[in-house]
Amino acid sequence: MGSTPQLRRLWATDVQFREKRRRRPSINITSLIDVLFLLLTFFLVTTTFITQSALKVELPAMRNADRVQQEKRFILNVSKDGAMVFNGETMSTDQLRTALGNAARDVDASGGLILRADQGLPYGDVMGILDLIKGSGVKKFVIATDEVQ
């Protein structure tokens, strides 16, 4: 038993333990970037871009204007000289009355009609167009304006 303490002493002094180096965890984001680009491409391809107008219309300005989504709405543009374009098609008053009468149910189901009347259009003409819209059976419509900056 006399040799046991000596062995213990040798073992404790001769054996050196290496310190473990801690590796910092890393996250591989390559696949995440691939997925993000795929989603971006998907949304760019599936987005429908709305053309604002077939006519150049200067909208009147308004301070407290509510924002309206134009996704699936019908758009009626009226220029200051009285030319009317309904969903990209130039029409006379009678043609517009017929087109709105035929599409009234679809217009209301889609969220309504957007009236984009030029600010130079006389007020009486705007009221006449509003009467035409109401008379054709369209119940939902809004008047487009620009925000005052």
Nearest to 132 by CA among 149, 115, 111, 148: 115
Decide: 113 and 76 in contact? Cβ < 8 Å: yes
- What tens-digit pLDDT sequence spans the chain (149 residues)? 555 555 555 555 556 667 777 788 888 888 899 999 999 999 888 876 655 555 566 656 656 655 545 455 688 888 888 889 888 888 898 898 888 888 877 776 667 788 888 888 888 888 898 888 888 888 888 888 776 66
Beta-carbon contacts of residue 93 (< 8 Å; ≥ 6 apart):
84, 132
Structure tokens given for 24: 């910092």
* C-alpha distance from residue 56 to each of 52, 80, 83, 85, 101 (Å): 9, 9, 11, 11, 26
Q: Is the pTM of this model over 0.85?
A: no
Helix and strand counts by DSSP (H, E) for the chain: 4, 7
Domains along the chain with CATH numbers: 5-46 (no CATH), 61-147 (3.30.420.270)
In terms of DSSP bridges, do strands 84-86 and 89-91 run parallel, antiparallel, or are they unpaired?
antiparallel
